[in-house]
Amino acid sequence: MTVDTRALRNSFGNFVTGVTLVTTVGSDGKPIAMTANSFSSVSLDPPLVLWCIDKGSDRLGIYQQAQHFAINVLAANHQELSGRFAKKGQPYMDGVDYAVWETGCPVIPDAVAIFECDKLASHDAGDHIIYIGYVRRFQTPETAGKPLVFHRGAYCALA
Ligand SMILES: Cc1cc2nc3c(=O)[nH]c(=O)nc-3n(C[C@H](O)[C@H](O)[C@H](O)COP(=O)(O)O)c2cc1C
């Protein structure tokens, strides 16, 4: 079967998602981030999550070697941050307000949720790799505002 990938991508885009920054530390010790909406919760016990990276990503090598990553669920006011870390060649977090948790992963303090993970497994899946994370620490700020929302290739807000 020949797949019209553009049509398929558009169809996938009808599934409304949040937006995350997946952060980690490079082998040079520099904090790294990437915008991703492929995040999903997987299991409560044990606590597992997943996200997927495009094999064509320039950041693939960094996430392949990383033992840990943090999922930062972005707030409605984080659209600029999302745009910045969706650009090629700009993985470094210079000038971003972040904290560092136990694994060394940078986290965005005003994200609506944060999940710090051990990378438990990676699975080859077509043109992507699926990373499974074991959640070792998480945070949901009481003051968490509304999340950033993505639908049909555009940012939107909850009513
Ligand atoms: C809202 C949004 C969600 C994205 N989700 C993913 C994702 O889940 N996985 C992925 O590999 N790329 C995703 N991307 C694209 C990457 O952010 C982008 O390709 C990357 O940061 C820049 O390219 P590079 O990794 O080749 O430097 C997404 C982009 C946007 C704007």
Average pLDDT of span 13-32: 97
pLDDT above 70 covers a percentage of the chain that reads 100
Ligand 1 contact, 37 CB (< 6 A):
yes
Q: Is 127 in the pocket of ligand 1 (CB under 6 A)?
A: no
Atom index in ligand 1 nearest the CA of residue 155 equals 1
Q: Using CA positions, which residue lies closest to atom 21 of ligand 1?
A: 86
Q: Is 35 in the pocket of ligand 1 (CB under 6 A)?
A: yes
With CA atoms as reference, report the closest residue to 72 among 43, 45, 44, 93: 93
Q: Let me know if residue 6 belongs to a domain.
A: no
Q: Is residue 125 part of a domain?
A: yes
41, two tokens: 């919760």
With a 6 Å cutoff on the Cβ, whether 34 touches ligand 1 is yes
Domain, as residue range, for 46: 19-152
Number of structural domains found in the chain: 1
Q: Is residue 11 part of a domain?
A: no
Pairing of the two strands 149-151 and 128-139:
unpaired
* 128-148 tens-digit pLDDT: 999 999 999 999 987 778 999
Q: Are 36 and 30 in contact (CB under 8 A)?
A: no
Report if residue 61 sits inside a domain.
Answer: yes
CATH number at residue 109: 2.30.110.10
With b meaning 16 or more CB within 10 Å and e meaning fewer, what string describes 106-136? bbbeebbbbbbbebeeeeeeeebbbbbbbbe
Is residue 47 included in any domain, yes or no? yes
Q: Has this prediction a pTM greater than 0.85?
A: yes
Distance 145 CA to ligand 1 centre (A): 24
Report if residue 4 sits inside a domain.
Answer: no
For β-strands 31-36 and 40-43, DSSP reports them as unpaired
- Tell me the per-residue pLDDT of 78-127, one tens digit each, with 9 for 90 and over: 999 999 999 999 899 999 999 999 999 999 999 999 999 999 999 999 99
17: Cβ below 6 Å to ligand 1? no
In DSSP terms, 72 is beta-bridged to 21, 114
Between CA 61 and CA 34 the distance in angstroms is 13
Give residue-wise pLDDT tens across range 83-93.
Answer: 999 999 989 99
Pick the atom of ligand 1 nearest to 51's CA: 8
* pLDDT one-digit tens code per residue, 24-74: 999 999 999 999 999 999 999 999 999 999 999 999 999 999 999 999 999
Average pLDDT over residues 11-27: 97
Q: Which single residue is written with the structure tokens 């971003």?
A: 96
Compute the chain's Rg from CA coordinates. Answer: 15
- Answer whether residue 157 shows pLDDT above 90: no
Is residue 159 assigned to a domain?
Answer: no
Q: Whose CA is nearest to atom 31 of ligand 1?
A: 86
Examine residue 119 and state whether it is found in any structural domain, yes or no.
yes
